Copies of this chain bind each other. A is one copy, B any other.
């Protein structure tokens, strides 16, 4: 097990009816930037409920940044910073999924920074202070509600890059699973795939003796596999929504990575796809991950993949470990497809044109991966995924 520092001070208010805890925002600051996405929170009534609570709690000023995109753009970040500065706002409230939260965190960090917030993607140490962030989560997926990271897209540069700082970790997050009842199946499925990918990026590692972390990761993976299909079939199944929501937060809050870090493979490869084609992040992950596994499968990785199949999908590991690993990969692919997620890049509108360019771009973000990947490897994984 590796040495680690574990410090996750975000306060989580979990459960139906917890939106009322939003009144606690006034203990942080009474001048709020409200950040949200495409308007679904207006259709569901959440927007009105948020305003009712904010008013009753004595908030003095609310300004809005609306229309944050699924792959949140640097332009939204800049605009949020501008609004906060113009109106002297003191807290950023994200109401939405991971994109809205990521955008909010970047705004919070950018508020105190003299330069352009895109600078953080190359040097997060430029973040020396940040506005406090609070969140109301509406999608179980990215884990951003409890962690230090953000991923922002720069369309001009065809770049989608992540950065992080403990200063960006939300002060509190409200996780009411019933707020996800209205999610379309596609988004629910995407959340499950994103959650599983976060777990798997850490799970496949070479850290000696990190048994507990492996056990915890498998516990979370089984939870996602059990409840993903349930939530898609019965969107208002509270038990399924609750398990998926808490699972997504624990998947990427630092618990699994503490003692067992690994360089990520699929996220960096996917970010380049999203940056160029603006596809749904989790679609890219669901397409790439089984192909990545198939590409790096050999005598050395097969035992890990087979064990993954045994622990998560209940396969029996036979004498031929390579075959068992292949079965695990098949089952993962089948599971993603059964959720309605795409299996090929063609399905999301990506062809051969830019594979070489994207491979060249992705490889610069890959380091300390479970299996080292060259540009040729990434190209081959993309090509397998067509």
Spell out A's residues near B (CB within 8 Å).
1-18, 177, 208-209, 211-212, 215-216, 218-220, 222-223, 226-227, 238-239, 242-243, 246-247, 250, 258-259
> Which of chain B's residues have a CB closer than 8 A to the CB of A15?
1-4
Q: How far is the CA of A174 from the CA of B165 in the complex (A)?
A: 22
Contact partner of A243 among B10, B212, B218, CB < 8 A?
B212
Output the nearest chain B residue to A216 by Cβ-Cβ distance. B219
Is the beta-carbon distance between B212 and A220 smaller than 8 angstroms? yes
Is the beta-carbon distance between A239 and B208 smaller than 8 angstroms? yes
> Which of chain B's residues have a CB closer than 8 A to the CB of A220?
212, 215
User: Contacts A4-B15, A211-B243, A216-B219 given; 17 further ones with Cβ under 8 A?
Assistant: A1-B177, A1-B242, A2-B15, A3-B15, A3-B16, A5-B11, A8-B8, A14-B258, A209-B238, A209-B239, A211-B239, A212-B243, A212-B246, A212-B250, A215-B222, A216-B216, A218-B219
> Which of chain B's residues have a CB closer than 8 A to the CB of A226?
211
Q: Knowing A216-B219, A243-B209, say if A11 contacts B6 (CB, 8 Å).
A: yes
Q: How far is the CA of A3 from the CA of B247 in the complex (A)?
A: 15
Is the beta-carbon distance between B1 and A12 smaller than 8 angstroms? no
Is the beta-carbon distance between B7 and A12 smaller than 8 angstroms? yes
Output the nearest chain B residue to A214 by Cβ-Cβ distance. B219
Output the nearest chain B residue to A8 by Cβ-Cβ distance. B8
Contact partner of A3 among B9, B18, B216, B258, CB < 8 A?
B18
Q: How far is the CA of A2 from the CA of B208 in the complex (A)?
A: 36
Q: How far is the CA of A242 from the CA of B213 in the complex (A)?
A: 11
> Which of chain B's residues have a CB closer than 8 A to the CB of A250?
212
Is the beta-carbon distance between A9 and B9 smaller than 8 angstroms? yes
Q: Knowing A212-B223, A223-B215, say if A239 contacts B1 (CB, 8 Å).
A: yes
Q: How far is the CA of A135 from the CA of B321 in the complex (A)?
A: 46
> Which of chain B's residues have a CB closer than 8 A to the CB of A258?
12, 14
Q: How far is the CA of A11 from the CA of B166 in the complex (A)?
A: 12
> Which of chain B's residues have a CB closer than 8 A to the CB of A216?
216, 219
Output the nearest chain B residue to A221 by Cβ-Cβ distance. B215
The 4 closest A-B pairs by CB, nearest first: A3-B15, A209-B239, A215-B219, A6-B12
Q: Knowing A219-B216, A222-B215, A227-B211, say if A14 contacts B3 (CB, 8 Å).
A: yes
A134 to chain B minimum Cβ distance, whole angstroms, is 14
> Which of chain B's residues have a CB closer than 8 A to the CB of A4?
12, 14-15
